[in-house]
Amino acid sequence: MGIKLKPAMNSPAAAEEKSLAMVLRGARAALRAEHRPLPEPAAGEVRLRVRACAVCRTDLHLQDGDLPMARWPVVPGHEVVGTVDALGAGVTDLRMGQRVGVPWLGGSCGRCRYCLAGQENLCDAPEFTGCTRDGGFATHVVARADFCVPLDHLALDDASAAPLLCAGLIGWRSLRMAGADAHVLGLYGFGAAAHLIAQVAVAQGRRVLAFTRAGDTAAQQHARELGCAWVGDSDQAPPEPLDAAILFAPVGALVPLALKAVRKGGRVVCGGIHMSDIPAFPYALLWQERQLLSAANLTRADAREFFEALRTLPPLHVHTRRYPLQAAGQAMDDLRAGRFQGAAVLMPDAP
């Protein structure tokens, strides 16, 4: 590759040569800024200049040590929007400068029974962005080209697009699992995922009922503004039986509450990757063919379908709170404490 130049500090070349990454060195550690050599894409991979990366509740579970598959040290972040700035060998489907997204599923084996059955989200040997491979809390990230999502036609700026890569996609998959016939839909937990998928569901003509933490008037106000037909506390009975409920809050105690709120034959879909224990509940809550399901990860087909669907729906209002990359720790703390509506987004190019 020729001679390795050592440019003088402060020259533009010096700034280009390094990447800045916010790193977790282990469970329950704080994020730490590290200057690293630019990561090089291997065959089949691309390097992206990160333009925006949203912060997901899964990043909090990672930091808390709740994800046993995590590989330390790791750069979190799996809702990445970036532009391709280096192509690994053999990459022909993406081009330099193209805007793409990198989601949570960063790779699958392509050979296990799940991959072969079109369920790559359940792959036996998966790679997860920002968990088993470095993610987007950085100026640069390397991703498998075949798991990048082209965003050429998405009419949203980078910060607004970032939360779609997980909150939007897992919301979409959960909504599909709730069923096309789920006309009356309950959403438990009104954060990044719910605020996006509520808009999609309303645009599809569904009645959306939003359940929040008791007394969270800010979230309830937000839900009303986005077209929810009813808002209330999560332990309140809805004014009408739900056809389906989606749980985005990682609170196991919501499961029996949601089962109680759905009609006979109704579904309860758990959308999170981690949840506190589900308390014991009487079988009568599940009986009458109610179904309890979980949505895990997402497939590339989900991504294609979701971004295609967005082209036919009214524009989404994506509520973001933007932080400079180095304030990633603050963004995680604010998410944990529920200090904003919508999604936190890290902006590496912000001053």
Minimum CB separation of residue 99 from Zn ion in Å reads: 20
The distance of closest approach from Cβ of residue 20 to Zn ion in the complex, given in angstroms and rounded to an integer, is 22
Residues in region 41-70 near Zn ion by CB under 5 A? 56, 58
Q: Which two tokens stand for residue 133?
A: 């491979």
b or e along 166-188 (b: 16 or more beta carbons within 10 Å of the residue's beta carbon)? Answer: bbbbbbbbbbebbbeebebbbbb
Q: How far is the CB of 227 from Zn ion (least distance, A)?
A: 24
Build a one-symbol-per-residue string for 114-143: x at contacts with Zn ion by CB under 5 A, - elsewhere: -x-------x--------------------
Alpha-carbon distances, residue 136 vs 110, 145, 216, 264, 288 (angstroms): 24, 15, 30, 43, 44
- Beta carbon of residue 2, minimum distance to Zn ion (angstroms, whole number): 38
Burial (CB count within 10 angstroms: exposed 0-12, middle 13-18, buried 19+), residue 110? exposed
**Residue closer to Zn ion (CB basis): 51 or 290:** 51
Q: Which of 33, 60, 112, 203 binds Zn ion (CB under 5 A)?
A: 112
Q: Tokens at residue 157, please? A: 């700026």
> Which lies closer to Zn ion via its Cβ, residue 89 or residue 117?
117
Nearer to Zn ion, 98 or 108 (CB): 108
What three-state secondary structure class fits 179?
coil
CB of residue 129 to Zn ion, shortest distance in Å = 9
Residue 46 · residue 148 · CB < 8 Å: yes
Identity of the residue, 108 or 160, whose beta carbon is nearer to Zn ion in the bound complex: 108
Q: Which C-beta is closer to Zn ion: that of 142 or that of 165?
A: 165
- Cα 50 to Cα 21: distance, rounded to the nearest angstrom: 11
From the list 63, 98, 108, 121, which residue makes contact with Zn ion (rule: CB under 5 A)? 108
Nearest CB to Zn ion, comparing residues 55 and 198 = 55
Q: Which stretch binds Zn ion (CB under 5 A): 24-32, 108-116, 129-137, 140-148?
A: 108-116
Q: d(Cα 295, Cα 121) in Å, to the nearest integer?
A: 9
Q: Is 344 in the site for Zn ion (CB under 5 A)?
A: no
User: Interface residues for Zn ion in 289-318 (CB under 5 A)?
Assistant: none
Query: Any bridge partners for residue 188, and if so which?
Result: 211, 247
Task: Residue 167: name the closest of 350, 347, 345 by CA.
Answer: 345
Q: Which is nearer to Zn ion, 109 or 278 (CB)?
A: 109
State which of positions 157-186 bind Zn ion (CB under 5 A): 166
Other residues' Cβ atoms within 10 Å of the Cβ of residue 266? 23
Q: How far is CA 180 from the centre of its chain?
A: 22
Taking CB under 5 A as the criterion, which residues in 212-251 touch Zn ion?
none
Positions touching Zn ion (CB under 5 A) are 56, 58, 108-109, 112, 115, 123, 166
